[in-house]
Amino acid sequence: MSQYRARPPAIPTLLLDDEVVRITRWDFEPGADTGVHTHGLGYVVVPMTDCEFLIEEKDGDRRVDLAAGAAYRRDAGVEHNVVNAGGKPMSFIEIEYK
């Protein structure tokens, strides 16, 4: 997983941050990425569009395709970079639980 950033950044929009959850909308142009980061909280992702993810992790990269409205959950401690590997803009909602 490279620390070098040659891609355009994904755009986060904080929707809610209270004592229970932090909810962020992420918008990606084709090829955009989040940058390498570590999740301090467990979280759920719900795609608002069909998403073609490239997940870059220390143990290797993997492709994940999710349909709009699908959901998945991950535990705290995940370190990765999320890339829009598709040819269209994509968006998802990330719900971190405190």
Tens of pLDDT, residue by residue over 4-38, are: 568 999 999 999 999 999 999 999 999 999 999 99
CA dist 73 → 8, 41, 44, 87 (Å): 26, 11, 4, 25
- The residue whose two tokens read 């999710």 is 66
The total number of residues written for the chain in this structure: 98
Tens of pLDDT, residue by residue over 46-83, are: 999 999 999 999 999 999 999 999 999 999 999 999 99
Locate the domains of the chain by residue range.
11-97
* pLDDT score recorded for residue 6: 80
The answer to whether the CB of 89 falls within 8 A of the CB of 14 is no
The CATH number given to 11-97 is 2.60.120.10
CA dist 65 → 41, 69, 70 (Å): 23, 12, 10
pTM for the full predicted model: 0.91
